[in-house]
């Protein structure tokens, strides 16, 4: 009898275990569904690096692209009587999470300058090397007079940053299911994206993974391979433009979620010195934004992209910088013309035999 009871007892325990496991899974499923519903109704905006469904909805509802895949109107390659400026950059120039393109800094800049057209060539997720390629492949055909490069502190990142470092090191998957499936769930499910984000925030808090600040700081070792590769691309970008008679101005944007106790001032200094050494005009926006530190300048606590107010501040500062640079250039041209005229008069009329 004992030998018969043991299998029955084992079966009973296995059945109980299976029932409990099923109840647990069902409870988790119901919790997940309820969280999904709640977040879709009133959930917070997801951040850019989570690439959650909130961003997909933004792209579908608020982004229209031209035939060259830029978030702007159709551009003309034919010159007009207007000053033509190309605005080049990453998601800060693209206007990530800003619903109205008229509120993004290149469009605001255009409204601040007389007889000027500004073409927005911002592509989210690009770095300086990628922006140099965009200019060569799609930008210079528009025959610009000037380029304004919006530099963000993560722009020295390596080419594989968005395919390897960001998804694997900075924002690893919620579950060990592989990057493709994790990416798909993150883009489709509010609940999955939310839980993934919270897990990574806890991991940062307890020191279990690299923080975004540490990620940024890793690019600014002057002897490191990241900085050296970036410096070569930055110099090359400016040299490419100036070889075609196009002047470059660089606007250095801060990280908006850390203005109070800002840890990246050395990065600003290094970037300003590098671009300044190429002959480009440099505008460091950090001191201007500090004057507005009591205002909300980012999209949300979980999305550190500049909001409409921050875009307007950038455009106003860049506009004043450009007015000064253009006036200096006009004065230099005028002085050169006067000097050439004086030299011609001093030479006198050509003699005849």
User: What is the three-class DSSP state of 172?
Assistant: coil
Q: Please state, rounded to an integer, the average pLDDT across all residues of the chain.
A: 88
Distances in Å between the Cα of 268 and the Cα atoms of 135, 233, 274 are 24, 17, 10
For 213-270, write each residue's pLDDT tens digit: 899 999 999 999 999 999 999 999 999 999 999 999 999 999 997 787 899 999 999 9
Q: 302, 52, 42, 44: which is closest to 193 by C-alpha?
A: 52
pLDDT of residue 228: 97
For 7-47, write each residue's pLDDT tens digit: 668 888 888 899 999 999 999 999 999 988 988 886 555 44
Band (pLDDT 50/70/90 cuts) for residue 98 is: very high
Q: How far apart are CA 15 and CA 70, in angstroms?
A: 59
Q: In this structure, what token pair is assigned to residue 135?
A: 């200019």
pLDDT of residue 93: 98
Mean pLDDT of 152-177: 86
Q: How far apart are CA 290 and CA 87, in angstroms?
A: 23
List strand residue ranges (DSSP E) for 89-231, in order: 116-120, 146-152
Q: In this structure, what token pair is assigned to residue 144?
A: 């610009």
CATH topology for 53-161+213-332? Rossmann fold (3.40.50)
Report strand pairing: 298-300 vs 83-88. unpaired
Determine the straight-line distance between the first and last CA of the chain, rounded to whole angstroms: 139
User: What is the three-class DSSP state of 222?
Assistant: coil
Report strand pairing: 116-120 vs 146-152. unpaired
Distances in Å between the Cα of 185 and the Cα atoms of 47, 179, 221 are 15, 10, 36
Q: Which residues contact 192 (CB under 8 A, 6 or more apart)?
A: 174, 185, 186
pLDDT of residue 46: 47
| Residue listed under structure tokens 């002959």 | 279
**Cβ count within 10 A of residue 161:** 19
pLDDT of residue 44: 53
What's the DSSP call for residue 71? S
Band (pLDDT 50/70/90 cuts) for residue 57 is: confident
């Amino acid at each position: 009898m004992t030998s018969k009871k043991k299998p029955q007892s084992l079966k009973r325990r296995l059945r109980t275990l299976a029932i409990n496991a099923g109840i647990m899974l069902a409870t988790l499923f119901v919790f997940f569904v309820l969280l999904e519903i709640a977040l879709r109704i009133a959930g917070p905006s997801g951040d850019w690096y989570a690439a959650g469904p909130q961003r997909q909805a933004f792209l579908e509802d608020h982004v229209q692209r031209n035939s060259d895949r830029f978030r702007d109107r159709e551009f003309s390659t034919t010159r007009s009587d207007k000053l033509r400026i190309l605005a080049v950059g990453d998601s800060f120039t693209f206007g990530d999470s800003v619903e109205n393109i008229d509120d993004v800094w290149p469009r605001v800049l255009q409204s601040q300058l007389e007889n000027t057209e500004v073409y927005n060539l911002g592509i989210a997720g690009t770095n300086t090397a990628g922006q140099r390629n965009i200019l060569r492949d799609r930008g210079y055909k528009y025959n610009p007079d000037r380029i304004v490069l919006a530099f963000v502190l993560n722009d020295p990142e390596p080419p594989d940053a968005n395919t390897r470092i960001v998804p694997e090191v900075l924002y690893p998957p919620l579950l060990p299911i592989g990057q493709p499936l994790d990416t798909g769930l993150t883009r489709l499910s509010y609940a999955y994206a939310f839980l993934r984000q919270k897990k990574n925030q806890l991991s940062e808090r307890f020191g279990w993974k690299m923080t975004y600040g540490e990620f940024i700081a890793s690019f600014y070792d002057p002897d490191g391979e990241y900085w050296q590769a970036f410096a070569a691309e930055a110099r090359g970008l400016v040299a490419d433009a100036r070889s075609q008679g196009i002047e470059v101005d660089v606007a250095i944007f801060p990280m908006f979620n850390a203005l109070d106790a800002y840890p990246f001032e050395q990065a600003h200094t290094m970037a300003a010195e590098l671009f300044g050494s190429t002959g480009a005009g440099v505008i460091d926006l950090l001191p201007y934004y500090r004057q507005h530190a009591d205002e909300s300048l980012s999209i949300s606590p979980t999305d550190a992209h500049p909001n409409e107010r921050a875009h307007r501040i950038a455009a106003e500062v860049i506009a004043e910088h450009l007015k000064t640079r253009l006036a200096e250039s006009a004065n230099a041209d005028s002085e050169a013309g006067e000097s050439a005229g004086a030299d011609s008069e001093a030479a006198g009329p050509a003699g005849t035999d």
